[in-house]
Chains A and B, each alone.
Chain A
Amino acid sequence: MERILFYILALIMIGFALASVMSRRMLRSVIYLLFVLCAVAGVYFMMDYNFLAAIQLTIYAGGIIVLIIFSVLLVHHIEMRMEIARPTRQLLTALACSLGLAAFLSVIYTYDFQVSGPGPGTEVSVIGAKLLDYGEGGFILPFEVISVLLLAAMVGAIVIAKGTKLSENKNEVK
């Protein structure tokens, strides 16, 4: 049963990922991506990573997708379709991608992976304690560094938004 469920999720993921990359309309690509992210959450649920799955749904499927939709809607030419590349280029890209996929798959399938023991648990309380732990296996430092990263990203975003607009001759400040 579990195996069947997994393959269904995997099919959804691969199918919609392909659709998302191949679609020529921006908004449709984003919606296809939404399904991919939801299916990933499904895999997390299957592995009993309930907290991670909830985060995946709220942040990725909820937040990030809405953010992307907003930015797509703010783009002027929403109806614009992506242009189709020349056939030789398509062929070369397809060739490179399949070669890469073959290399990765062959390496991953021939490797003898070790099954790891059970982790420290996936309850929210354990995760919370780990995030504040400063000893071995604790994550307080990365947690704090991420906050600096977010601060820097916000400052950067503000700076770009504050910039003067391009003038008519595109070279001078208005």
Chain B
Amino acid sequence: MDMETLLLLRQEVSLLLIALVLLLFEIFANDRNRAGVVSLAIVLFGLHTALGFMDMKEGELFGGMFRTNALIHMFKNILNLGVLIVLLQSAEWVKKELIPQNRGTEFFILMLSSLLGLQFLISSGDFLMFYLGLELSTLPLAALAAFEIYRMRSSEAGIKLILSSALASGITLFGISLLYASSGSIYYAELQGAISENPLTVLAMILFFAGLGFKISLVPFHFWTADVYEGAPIGIASYLSVISKGAAIFILMILFFTVLKPLMHLWENLFYLLSVLTMFLGNLFALRQQNMKRFLAFSSIAQAGFILLGLITGTTLGVATVIYFILIYIFSNLAAFGVVQAISTETGKEQLQDYEGLYRTNPKLSLVMMLGLFSLAGIPPVAGFFGKFFLFTAAASKGYYFLVFLAVVNVTISLYYYLLVVRAMFLRKSEHPIPYFTNTVYMRIGLVITVIGILALGLYSPIYDYIYALSSTLN
């Protein structure tokens, strides 16, 4: 092993370095310059994100425990970009709420360690690293969800997240141990040829899937989602809804399309069933939510159902459309969460009725929110439409016409509740609308990136072609 192969670990090492620099900053900071951590963290992480776009060679390290290729590297960049937006949108909240309590630096350290866990998770080459990545990504999140510990709901969110994630990772671990028992190896490369269809591996696959289903909040494992999103600080809720969900889907895709490929005719049915359940439950529950965070929580459950629909295919087309959809979903959901974050930090209001008449007082925010919601709903000019359209095409190309029909029904349902918010903002008048306020520079940058992302992904087709070209490396 020499320095050049160690460069494959570049992303992870640089993340760890940023976390350590912040830790050092915390040690030497005093009350006057403590607020500087926000800018320091964002600038360092912005650099990390920008440097991440440099080319990465394909290869593996530590005897195959860690592996990376162009597809994995691209997904790491997507995660970096998403976290950068989350950090930008949370900056004002950190300054206002956390710095006076002297807890600002820890927010960034925990967020970055969780991201580090996700990076290890998606480039894991064996189940040991998979499990450690899963834990490293979840454990800091539980502390982050309970960050506003003085609020009952926040501590409740932390407890709920850690208890349900402990249960889920226990189940995953049991599944992994059964896989190990069936083949005697935990390396993906060795397992790939060794898995055959028998009751033990099927049981292992189901248990394993349950743990990841928790992260993605698929329907039988979704109970924590709404409560945690509602109680946790908004930045954490948006991180949970896009970043950790996206990474979990990605590793699920890698494992089910390669290692567990021999069981495909079984997990196809599993995905089919859960996809339908997740879409319907998420959408129907989203209809009756009044709190914006709970509303977005159920909408994100429903979106997970759509993603599962793309995974059913198991083809290169499926991989490409799912990654493309996740990318669009990250931008759209972060646009919506960003506006909720901005309004909540400024006024503390989170209910749907508070948004009535928002367009009259804060037209720009309303437009960003509308764009995000239109993209989530899949209305033609914006990116979300193409994301959903390609997903449905991928499913239809394998003959799942009835599933696509059900999905279209769900798109219609979701259109109704997304438009409810738009109607409240644009058409309703309110006695006490949210007064006009200006956003900080960080929040503006955060929102502008999401808007550019939503528009560019829909209008600039080479992005999809690039993803499609990389996706063929998986199969």
A residues near B (Cβ < 8 Å) are 103-104, 106-108, 110-111, 113-114, 116, 134-142, 145-146, 148-149, 151-153, 155-160, 162-167, 170-174
Contact = CB atoms under 8 A, between A and B. Distances in A.
Given A142-B65, A156-B140, A163 B182 contact: no
A156 B63 contact: no
Given A140-B62, A142-B65, A148-B113, A173 B150 contact: yes
B132 A113 contact: no
Contacts of A151: 113
A2 B420 CA distance: 70
A42 to B, nearest CB: 20
B304 interface: no
Contacts of A172: 150
Interface string B119-154: 010000000110011011001101110110111100
Given A135-B63, A142-B132, A155-B110, 14 more contacts: A134-B61, A137-B63, A138-B62, A138-B63, A141-B65, A145-B132, A145-B133, A148-B136, A149-B136, A156-B139, A158-B106, A164-B149, A166-B152, A172-B150
B143 A134 contact: no
A136 B199 contact: no
Interface in B350-394: none
A107 B200 contact: yes
B102 A162 contact: yes
Interface residues of B, number: 44
B129 A163 contact: no
Given A149-B132, A164-B149, A171-B151, A107 B203 contact: yes
B149 A136 contact: no
B103 interface: yes
B449 interface: no
A87 to B, nearest CB: 24
Nearest to B20: A151
Contacts of B136: 145, 148-149, 152
B27 interface: no
Nearest to B107: A159
A156 B144 CA distance: 7
Contacts of B142: 156
Contacts of A135: 62-63
Nearest to A110: B199
B135 A159 contact: no
B152 A170 contact: yes
16 contacts: A103-B203, A108-B200, A111-B198, A141-B66, A142-B65, A145-B120, A145-B132, A149-B136, A152-B109, A152-B139, A155-B110, A156-B144, A163-B101, A164-B150, A171-B151, A173-B101
Contacts of B110: 152, 155-156, 159
A32 B198 CA distance: 37
Interface string B30-64: 00000000000000000000000000000001111
A165 B148 CA distance: 10
A142 B117 CA distance: 11
